[in-house]
Chain A
Amino acid sequence: MTAIPRPATVGEGTASPPLIEIRGVTRVYDTGRVEVPALRGVDLDVRQGEFVAIVGHSGSGKTTLMNIIGCLDRPTDGTYRIAGQDIADCDDDGLARLRSRTIGFVFQNCNLLPRTSALENVATPLLHQGVARKQRLERARAPLERLGLGDRLDHEPSELSGGQQQRVAIARALVTEPSLILADEPTGNLDTASGEEVIAILHELNAEGRTIVLITHEADVAAHAGRQVHVRDGRIVE
Chain B
Amino acid sequence: MSALEMIRLAMSRLRTSRLRTFLTMLGVIIGVASVVALVGVGQGATSGITARLQGLGTNLLTVSPGSTTSGFTRSAAGSATTLTQEDAAAIAKVQGVAAVEPEVSTQAFLVAGDGNTTTTILGTTSAYPLVRAYDIADGSFFNQASVDHALRVVVLGATTASDLGISTNAPGRTITINGIPFQVVGVLATKGTSGPFSQDDQAIIPITTHRDYFSSGDKVRSIGVSVADASGIELAKASIAATLEQRHGVTSTNQDFTIADQAQLLSTFSSVGATLALLLGGIASISLLVGGIGIMNIMLVSVRERTREIGIRKAIGARGRDILAQFLIEALVISLIGGAIGIVVGLLVSVLISSVAGWSVAFSPLTILAAVVFSLAVGVVFGVLPARQAARLDPIVALRYE
Contact = CB atoms under 8 A, between A and B. Distances in A.
Are A and B part of the same complex? yes
Interface of A: 67, 70, 72-73, 92-93, 96-97, 99-101, 105, 107, 111-115, 124-125, 127-130, 133, 172, 176
B399 A107 contact: yes
B315 A70 contact: yes
From DSSP, what is the main secondary structure of chain A's interface residues? Answer: helix
25 contacts: A73-B396, A92-B319, A93-B319, A96-B314, A96-B317, A99-B314, A100-B317, A101-B317, A105-B315, A105-B316, A107-B315, A107-B399, A111-B312, A111-B315, A111-B399, A112-B312, A115-B16, A127-B1, A127-B9, A128-B1, A128-B313, A128-B322, A129-B317, A130-B2, A133-B5
Interface in B315-339: 315-322
A113 B2 CA distance: 20
Contacts of A128: 1, 313, 316-319, 322
B316 A99 contact: yes
A47 B316 CA distance: 22
Nearest to A100: B317
Interface string B290-329: 0000000000000000001101111111111110000000
Contacts, number: 62
Nearest to B17: A115
Interface string B269-307: 000000000000000000000000000000000000000
Given A67-B396, A72-B395, A130-B2, A124 B319 contact: no
Interface string B65-90: 00000000000000000000000000
A40 to B, nearest CB: 19
Contact of B317 (A114, A125, A133): A125
Given A72-B395, A128-B322, A113 B317 contact: no
Contacts of B9: 127
A188 to B, nearest CB: 14
Interface in B1-44: 1-2, 5, 8-9, 16
Contacts of B311: 111
A105 B315 CA distance: 8
Contacts of A101: 317
Contact of A96 (B1, B308, B312, B319): B319
Contacts of A114: 309
A97 B315 contact: no
Given A111-B399, A127-B5, A97 B317 contact: yes
B40 to A, nearest CB: 41
A97 B320 CA distance: 11
Nearest to A130: B1
Contact of B309 (A73, A99, A105, A113): A113
Query: Considering the complex of A and B, which 7 residue pairs feature the smallest CB-CB distances, nearest first?
Result: A100-B317, A96-B319, A128-B317, A125-B316, A128-B318, A111-B312, A99-B317
A115 B9 CA distance: 13
A111 B319 CA distance: 18
